[in-house]
Structure 1
């Protein structure tokens, strides 16, 4: 029997395992994960946002696959006749806003959105002011809204994804991959902390922030590191439920949550490291001024909760690294460097990996530009404008 080991049981690992079993039910698919509490994993800590407002077509089309699943949630999530739990999907849309300095970039990106089938709307300043009274828009030049997009409960989505993989026959092990047996360009086996050795035909490295150290054992250098990201739950005096998921070029990201909003202001220059501490100054020095400038219409703001999680940040260009290293590691596939976008793209990533492993090439969506070769060739493939 052909055996595939998937390292990491987060959203990407489970999606890969599910698509592998769906593509080829005879495969022996084993997922290895040391901590099923997911205490340090990105899975479940994010906003649950799904958006099409990217500038690289691959990212747009991957999001569209996820949106198709969300819109077919009752059928897709039903397992053995049991319907899925409520997804808490909020299709308020995503809104990217810019000032005059970034107007030309936004306009160019808007053309890309339309070319990729996004039902995007261009909103001039007057329209922003009329639609979103909680949003301070007097200094804005324009915005782009994608009304199909929104956000959901990521823990519910993930629980169903993992349950579907289990129902399909995927085996989940509680263990840790600590090494590999390699012959030439082929990984022959994975070594586990328990002492077990599993002979493999293929390996998927979906270990998140730990993916680079595992790949490094095989000589594959990956420019990805953990980067702390803060999120804050703020109660608002005035209702925020009418707002879309708002993002700007400075890293501010705000969406309705509970009795107010969930806010993050990504610091892309934050040094790497597995750091989960909460820095109070992130809220006082970065979020408070940004909210005062942009969301004064929401009235009094009261901080209720703060938490942190880790991006597996690709310092090279901010986009995923997906696939093998041809001629050097033919059957070892990496899936990392999502830089905050892994959850919304997990399904398409899993499908792409399954196609590579079972068919030898991408069949549904060509993701080759997200491959490792661009790292070797020093050819970044970054998003433009709002990230």
Structure 2
């Protein structure tokens, strides 16, 4: 008989709920709360400006992972020769996808470009202090373990082969080998498992975001608190181009800024920004919308003190049905989650957590796969938004085919945090060099949407 006890803290785990209650008593200070370190500290470095310059060379809409990485790479390469302004409407990152993610790093994809970007992410993390200074990611190199049923075994083998060919290190395990290495696992319904041996695990996404943002600002990037509410255009010989953005500042005032180039890196709100630019509202190339919208995902943290519970070196384990879990800290805590069926997507009007989804959909899988998980306690939880690409659930990166001065970096649908170093670098290459010079990400461009050629991942959660 399963024993399910719900214990929910009165204060949500999200650092941003704490932020809101703290800043309500002292609005003159900004605070960041690291959910990994579980400590509150004054961080004046995250303060942004409320003054909007009249013009800039590159305007980046969105100061999350992709936006801040793009700002970092642009300023690192071009220095004072390039004026970069970043607009972020959620200056405390209360609803931003980056810091509310689980912070996974893996190369277990089917799409070569995603494997390459994640390999570079691992390389970047190894020398992160050379790039971002005093940035501690608290990386846990425990790997990923992706399980496949009979129906998914062929795809898993094919994916593992592609990953190895590109330089990833993994091993495919039979049920017998899985049981030998991971004594806690019930292999019923499992045909094969792929275990990442190197450069996989998880890290603190808040630390990475602040590292990119603070270093970009040290290099001269200007962050402004506000929301882009309108664009202005001008006719040029090569066609209509974007010229300026109207920004609503935190005091309610609207001001405009002229720019030479613009980057949409607004996470889950990118589709709305695209609409402001006329994407999906016009004819020809402008008839195609930027297919990115928010999708709410829940993360639950539970305690298990049962016998034969997964140990400290346990990899992030993904069941054939998409349910995942991993250790959370060095106590008896674990975190877990799963994407719902597409017909059961939760409302995105808020970030409230649905505990019935855990009890009815996630916990039965956990208890089946790990006997020790038959008796657990929910300790905390949070919700965050995927920047979900409704076209093929893969990233969109590159220059827009109509607006030659518009660049896009969004829609990675839950696996983008590990690829922020590569994506920001790629955007800087397109803007400064006119082409990709490291990883060729051409196939992830907007053209595939125009040509109706989706490129979804295969057997990837």
With the length of structure 1 as denominator, give the TM-score of the two structures: 0.95
- 1:46-125 equivalences under 5 Å are 46-78=101-133, 83-84=134-135, 86-125=136-175
Q: 243, 246, 249: which one pairs with 2:317?
A: 246
TM-fit CA distance, 1:248 = 3.0
Aligned to 1:321: 396
**SS of equivalent to 2:404:** strand
Is 1:356 aligned to residue 356 of structure 2? no
Q: Give the 5 Å matches for 1:155-166.
A: 155-166=206-217
2:211 paired with 1:137: no
Q: What is the CA–CA distance in structure 2 between the aligned matches of 1:352 and 1:247, rounded to whole Å? A: 30
Offset at 1:2?
A: 6.0
Q: Does 1:292 align with 2:367?
A: yes
Match of 1:310 in 2: 385
CA distance in 2 between counterparts of 1:142 and 1:16 reads: 38
The Cα shift of 1:15 comes to 0.2
How far is the alpha carbon of 1:23 from its aligned partner?
2.3
Secondary structure (helix, strand or coil) at the match of 1:47 reads: coil
Q: Give unpaired runs (5+ residues) of structure 2.
A: 1-54, 280-288
Q: How many residues align?
A: 381
In terms of Rg, which structure is larger? 2
2:229 to 163, 178, 185: 178
How far apart in 2 are the matches of 1:29 and 1:76? Answer: 18
Distance 2:385 2:155 in 1: 28
Residues 16 and 236 (structure 1), Cα distance of their counterparts in 2 relative to 1, 3 Å cut: same
Which position in structure 1 is the counterpart of 2:337? 264
Deviations 1:66-92 (A, max 9, x none): 1012112343332xxxx33x3221100
- In the alignment, what sits opposite 1:368? 442
Partners of 2:367 and 2:87 in 1: CA distance = 45
Q: Which range moves more in the overlay, 299-308 or 94-103? A: 299-308
CA distance in 2, matches of 1:155, 1:284: 28
Residue 239 of structure 1: CA displacement? 4.9
1:176 Cα deviation (Å)? 1.3
Q: Secondary structure at the match of 1:46?
A: coil
In structure 2, how many angstroms separate the alpha carbons of the residues matched to 1:29 and 1:206? 14
* Structure 1 unaligned spans of 5+: none
Paired residues of 1:251 and 1:267 also in contact (CA < 8 A): no
Q: Secondary structure of the equivalent of 1:175?
A: strand
Shift of 1:33: 0.9
Task: Encode CA deviations 1:203-250: one digit per residue, 9 max, x unaligned.
Answer: 011111211111112222122211110100011113531210111342
Using a 3 Å threshold, how does the CA distance of structure 1 residues 11 and 18 change in structure 2: closer, same or farther?
same
Q: Any conservation in 2 of the 1:226–1:274 contact (CA below 8 Å)?
A: no
